[in-house]
Amino acid sequence: MITATNLSKVYNGTKVLDIDHLEIPQGQNFGLVGNNGAGKTTFFSLLLDLIRPTSGNIFNQDITVNESEDWKTFTASFIDESFLIGYLTAEEYFYFVGELRNQNRADIDSFLMQFEEFFNGEIIGRKKYLRDLSKGNQKKVGIVAALIGEPKVVILDEPFANLDPTTQIRLKKIIKDLSEISGTTVLVSSHDLIHVTEVCERIVVLNKGIIVKDIKTSEATLKELETYFSGEQIPEEVKLSEEEQTEEPKVDNPE
Protein backbone atom coordinates (compact mmCIF):
# COMPACT_ATOMS: atom_id res chain seq x y z
CA MET A 1 0.00 0.00 0.00
CA ILE A 2 1.16 3.49 -0.83
CA THR A 3 0.13 6.42 1.32
CA ALA A 4 0.83 10.08 0.83
CA THR A 5 0.05 12.51 3.61
CA ASN A 6 0.21 16.31 3.49
CA LEU A 7 2.52 15.89 0.58
CA SER A 8 3.64 19.06 -1.16
CA LYS A 9 6.43 20.23 -3.39
CA VAL A 10 7.27 23.88 -3.94
CA TYR A 11 9.58 25.23 -6.65
CA ASN A 12 10.52 28.90 -6.39
CA GLY A 13 7.42 29.73 -4.42
CA THR A 14 5.07 27.84 -6.77
CA LYS A 15 3.32 24.82 -5.37
CA VAL A 16 3.56 22.15 -8.04
CA LEU A 17 2.10 19.38 -5.92
CA ASP A 18 -0.22 19.52 -2.96
CA ILE A 19 -1.85 16.29 -1.83
CA ASP A 20 -3.62 16.13 1.51
CA HIS A 21 -4.13 12.44 1.59
CA LEU A 22 -3.90 9.73 -1.02
CA GLU A 23 -4.02 6.01 -0.44
CA ILE A 24 -3.33 3.39 -3.07
CA PRO A 25 -4.15 -0.13 -1.83
CA GLN A 26 -2.02 -3.12 -2.76
CA GLY A 27 -2.93 -4.64 -6.12
CA GLN A 28 -4.70 -1.58 -7.43
CA ASN A 29 -4.28 -0.44 -10.99
CA PHE A 30 -3.90 3.26 -10.41
CA GLY A 31 -4.03 5.87 -13.15
CA LEU A 32 -2.81 9.43 -12.92
CA VAL A 33 -4.13 11.90 -15.47
CA GLY A 34 -3.56 15.59 -16.00
CA ASN A 35 -2.26 18.19 -18.38
CA ASN A 36 1.39 19.14 -18.66
CA GLY A 37 2.61 20.55 -15.39
CA ALA A 38 -0.17 18.90 -13.39
CA GLY A 39 2.34 17.20 -11.13
CA LYS A 40 2.21 13.61 -12.35
CA THR A 41 5.95 13.14 -12.76
CA THR A 42 6.57 15.14 -9.60
CA PHE A 43 4.42 12.69 -7.67
CA PHE A 44 6.24 9.69 -9.13
CA SER A 45 9.61 11.31 -8.47
CA LEU A 46 8.64 11.89 -4.86
CA LEU A 47 7.50 8.31 -4.56
CA LEU A 48 10.88 7.18 -5.89
CA ASP A 49 12.73 9.58 -3.59
CA LEU A 50 14.28 11.35 -6.55
CA ILE A 51 13.20 14.73 -5.23
CA ARG A 52 12.68 15.80 -1.66
CA PRO A 53 9.15 16.71 -0.53
CA THR A 54 8.72 20.26 0.76
CA SER A 55 6.33 18.91 3.34
CA GLY A 56 4.64 15.63 4.19
CA ASN A 57 5.60 12.04 3.60
CA ILE A 58 5.11 9.16 1.25
CA PHE A 59 4.97 5.65 2.63
CA ASN A 60 5.58 2.66 0.43
CA GLN A 61 4.45 -0.44 2.38
CA ASP A 62 4.91 1.51 5.63
CA ILE A 63 8.45 2.56 4.68
CA THR A 64 9.01 6.29 4.58
CA VAL A 65 10.69 6.56 1.19
CA ASN A 66 13.07 9.38 2.03
CA GLU A 67 14.26 7.79 5.24
CA SER A 68 15.00 4.21 4.29
CA GLU A 69 16.12 2.57 1.07
CA ASP A 70 14.29 -0.67 1.80
CA TRP A 71 11.43 0.09 -0.59
CA LYS A 72 13.85 -0.34 -3.46
CA THR A 73 13.74 -4.12 -3.13
CA PHE A 74 10.09 -4.36 -4.16
CA THR A 75 9.57 -1.22 -6.23
CA ALA A 76 10.40 -0.94 -9.91
CA SER A 77 9.89 1.95 -12.25
CA PHE A 78 10.37 3.42 -15.67
CA ILE A 79 10.01 7.18 -15.88
CA ASP A 80 11.90 8.11 -19.05
CA GLU A 81 14.93 7.24 -21.16
CA SER A 82 17.22 8.49 -18.42
CA PHE A 83 16.40 5.21 -16.67
CA LEU A 84 18.18 3.31 -19.43
CA ILE A 85 21.91 2.81 -19.64
CA GLY A 86 22.66 3.91 -23.19
CA TYR A 87 25.82 1.96 -23.76
CA LEU A 88 24.35 -1.45 -22.95
CA THR A 89 22.49 -3.72 -25.31
CA ALA A 90 18.95 -4.62 -24.36
CA GLU A 91 19.96 -8.07 -23.09
CA GLU A 92 22.80 -6.65 -21.03
CA TYR A 93 20.45 -4.13 -19.50
CA PHE A 94 17.94 -6.84 -18.57
CA TYR A 95 20.70 -8.97 -17.06
CA PHE A 96 22.01 -5.97 -15.13
CA VAL A 97 18.61 -5.12 -13.68
CA GLY A 98 18.06 -8.83 -13.08
CA GLU A 99 21.21 -9.10 -11.01
CA LEU A 100 20.09 -6.14 -8.94
CA ARG A 101 16.88 -8.05 -8.28
CA ASN A 102 18.58 -11.37 -7.56
CA GLN A 103 17.62 -13.00 -10.82
CA ASN A 104 20.22 -15.00 -12.67
CA ARG A 105 20.58 -15.17 -16.40
CA ALA A 106 18.43 -18.24 -16.82
CA ASP A 107 15.66 -16.54 -14.82
CA ILE A 108 15.88 -13.48 -17.05
CA ASP A 109 15.94 -15.53 -20.24
CA SER A 110 12.80 -17.38 -19.30
CA PHE A 111 11.22 -14.17 -18.04
CA LEU A 112 11.88 -12.50 -21.39
CA MET A 113 10.26 -15.40 -23.25
CA GLN A 114 6.80 -14.17 -22.30
CA PHE A 115 7.49 -10.78 -23.86
CA GLU A 116 8.53 -12.14 -27.23
CA GLU A 117 5.30 -10.93 -28.72
CA PHE A 118 5.58 -7.55 -27.02
CA PHE A 119 9.12 -7.03 -28.32
CA ASN A 120 8.01 -7.95 -31.84
CA GLY A 121 11.53 -9.09 -32.73
CA GLU A 122 12.92 -5.59 -32.40
CA ILE A 123 14.69 -5.86 -29.08
CA ILE A 124 16.43 -9.15 -28.43
CA GLY A 125 19.48 -10.06 -30.48
CA ARG A 126 19.59 -6.76 -32.34
CA LYS A 127 23.22 -6.10 -31.40
CA LYS A 128 22.55 -2.42 -30.85
CA TYR A 129 23.20 -0.22 -27.89
CA LEU A 130 20.09 1.12 -26.21
CA ARG A 131 21.07 4.67 -27.16
CA ASP A 132 20.78 3.66 -30.83
CA LEU A 133 17.28 2.19 -30.52
CA SER A 134 14.21 4.16 -31.53
CA LYS A 135 12.23 5.93 -28.80
CA GLY A 136 9.48 3.34 -28.93
CA ASN A 137 11.85 0.42 -28.63
CA GLN A 138 13.71 2.12 -25.79
CA LYS A 139 10.40 2.42 -24.02
CA LYS A 140 9.66 -1.28 -24.49
CA VAL A 141 12.99 -2.15 -22.89
CA GLY A 142 12.40 0.22 -19.98
CA ILE A 143 8.90 -1.09 -19.28
CA VAL A 144 9.85 -4.75 -19.40
CA ALA A 145 12.92 -4.09 -17.23
CA ALA A 146 10.60 -2.56 -14.66
CA LEU A 147 8.74 -5.86 -14.43
CA ILE A 148 11.79 -7.98 -13.65
CA GLY A 149 11.85 -9.81 -10.34
CA GLU A 150 8.14 -9.60 -9.53
CA PRO A 151 8.11 -6.19 -7.88
CA LYS A 152 5.16 -5.39 -5.61
CA VAL A 153 4.93 -1.85 -6.94
CA VAL A 154 5.47 -0.85 -10.56
CA ILE A 155 5.58 2.80 -11.59
CA LEU A 156 5.30 3.71 -15.25
CA ASP A 157 5.28 7.32 -16.41
CA GLU A 158 3.52 7.77 -19.77
CA PRO A 159 4.03 4.14 -20.81
CA PHE A 160 1.83 4.46 -23.91
CA ALA A 161 3.54 7.45 -25.48
CA ASN A 162 5.81 6.65 -28.45
CA LEU A 163 4.53 3.09 -28.74
CA ASP A 164 2.98 1.74 -31.92
CA PRO A 165 -0.72 0.70 -31.78
CA THR A 166 -0.02 -3.03 -31.61
CA THR A 167 2.38 -2.57 -28.75
CA GLN A 168 -0.05 -0.28 -26.93
CA ILE A 169 -2.70 -2.97 -27.03
CA ARG A 170 -0.24 -5.60 -25.81
CA LEU A 171 0.97 -3.30 -23.05
CA LYS A 172 -2.57 -2.78 -21.83
CA LYS A 173 -2.97 -6.52 -21.42
CA ILE A 174 0.34 -6.78 -19.59
CA ILE A 175 -0.58 -4.04 -17.14
CA LYS A 176 -4.03 -5.50 -16.48
CA ASP A 177 -2.60 -8.96 -15.87
CA LEU A 178 -0.04 -7.54 -13.47
CA SER A 179 -2.56 -6.47 -10.89
CA GLU A 180 -5.12 -9.18 -11.59
CA ILE A 181 -2.83 -12.18 -11.61
CA SER A 182 0.14 -11.24 -9.46
CA GLY A 183 -1.47 -8.60 -7.26
CA THR A 184 1.03 -5.94 -8.21
CA THR A 185 0.24 -2.31 -7.52
CA VAL A 186 0.64 -0.54 -10.83
CA LEU A 187 0.87 3.23 -11.04
CA VAL A 188 0.46 4.60 -14.53
CA SER A 189 0.31 8.14 -15.79
CA SER A 190 -0.99 9.00 -19.22
CA HIS A 191 -2.19 11.72 -21.51
CA ASP A 192 -4.32 9.20 -23.33
CA LEU A 193 -7.70 9.06 -21.63
CA ILE A 194 -8.89 5.99 -23.54
CA HIS A 195 -5.90 3.88 -22.57
CA VAL A 196 -5.98 4.89 -18.97
CA THR A 197 -9.68 4.23 -18.55
CA GLU A 198 -9.26 0.84 -20.16
CA VAL A 199 -6.37 -0.17 -17.94
CA CYS A 200 -6.93 1.42 -14.54
CA GLU A 201 -9.47 0.58 -11.87
CA ARG A 202 -9.04 3.99 -10.37
CA ILE A 203 -8.19 7.30 -11.96
CA VAL A 204 -6.99 10.42 -10.20
CA VAL A 205 -6.97 13.71 -12.08
CA LEU A 206 -4.37 16.25 -11.08
CA ASN A 207 -4.55 19.90 -11.97
CA LYS A 208 -1.71 22.19 -11.00
CA GLY A 209 -0.68 19.79 -8.30
CA ILE A 210 -4.11 19.35 -6.72
CA ILE A 211 -6.31 16.26 -6.90
CA VAL A 212 -9.45 17.44 -8.67
CA LYS A 213 -11.05 14.06 -9.35
CA ASP A 214 -10.73 10.61 -7.84
CA ILE A 215 -12.82 8.20 -9.90
CA LYS A 216 -13.47 4.50 -9.64
CA THR A 217 -13.44 3.52 -13.29
CA SER A 218 -16.79 2.65 -14.83
CA GLU A 219 -18.52 2.89 -18.21
CA ALA A 220 -19.09 6.59 -17.69
CA THR A 221 -15.54 7.45 -16.70
CA LEU A 222 -14.18 8.18 -20.18
CA LYS A 223 -17.06 10.53 -20.90
CA GLU A 224 -16.56 12.24 -17.57
CA LEU A 225 -12.84 12.72 -18.20
CA GLU A 226 -13.39 13.95 -21.74
CA THR A 227 -15.90 16.47 -20.50
CA TYR A 228 -13.46 17.64 -17.88
CA PHE A 229 -10.55 18.07 -20.27
CA SER A 230 -12.48 19.49 -23.24
CA GLY A 231 -14.63 22.54 -23.92
CA GLU A 232 -16.31 22.38 -20.56
CA GLN A 233 -12.96 23.28 -19.10
CA ILE A 234 -13.91 26.95 -19.07
CA PRO A 235 -16.57 26.64 -16.39
CA GLU A 236 -14.31 24.13 -14.73
CA GLU A 237 -11.60 26.75 -14.53
CA VAL A 238 -14.00 29.29 -13.17
CA LYS A 239 -14.99 26.74 -10.60
CA LEU A 240 -11.36 26.05 -9.85
CA SER A 241 -10.42 29.67 -9.37
CA GLU A 242 -13.37 29.96 -7.07
CA GLU A 243 -12.12 26.95 -5.22
CA GLU A 244 -8.70 28.47 -4.99
CA GLN A 245 -10.15 31.65 -3.61
CA THR A 246 -12.05 29.80 -0.99
CA GLU A 247 -9.11 27.55 -0.31
CA GLU A 248 -6.61 30.28 0.20
CA PRO A 249 -7.76 31.35 3.65
CA LYS A 250 -7.86 27.66 4.55
CA VAL A 251 -4.20 27.33 3.66
CA ASP A 252 -3.35 30.52 5.49
CA ASN A 253 -5.09 29.60 8.69
CA PRO A 254 -2.93 26.68 9.85
CA GLU A 255 0.16 28.73 9.15
Which residues of the chain form contacts with another protein (CB under 8 A)?
Answer: 48-52, 69, 72-73, 75-77, 79, 82-89, 91-92, 96-97, 99-101, 127-129, 132, 149
Shortest Cβ 150–another protein spacing (Å): 12
Shortest Cβ 114–another protein spacing (Å): 21
C-alpha neighbours within 13 Å on the C-beta side of residue 248: 5
Q: Judged by CB, which is closer to another protein: 30, or 44?
A: 44
Q: How many angstroms separate the CA atoms of 48 and 4, rounded? A: 12
Strands 202-207 and 210-216: antiparallel
Q: Judged by CB, which is closer to another protein: 76, or 193?
A: 76
Q: Judged by CB, which is closer to another protein: 79, or 204?
A: 79
Residue 56 near residue 40 (C-beta atoms within 8 A) = no
Q: Judged by CB, which is closer to another protein: 101, or 139?
A: 101
Residue 188 near residue 156 (C-beta atoms within 8 A) = yes
Shortest Cβ 96–another protein spacing (Å): 6
Shortest Cβ 148–another protein spacing (Å): 10
Shortest Cβ 158–another protein spacing (Å): 15
Phi/psi at 35 (5° precision) = -70, 175
Phi/psi at 6 (5° precision) = 50, 30
Q: Judged by CB, which is closer to another protein: 93, or 201?
A: 93
Which 8-state DSSP code applies to residue 12? T
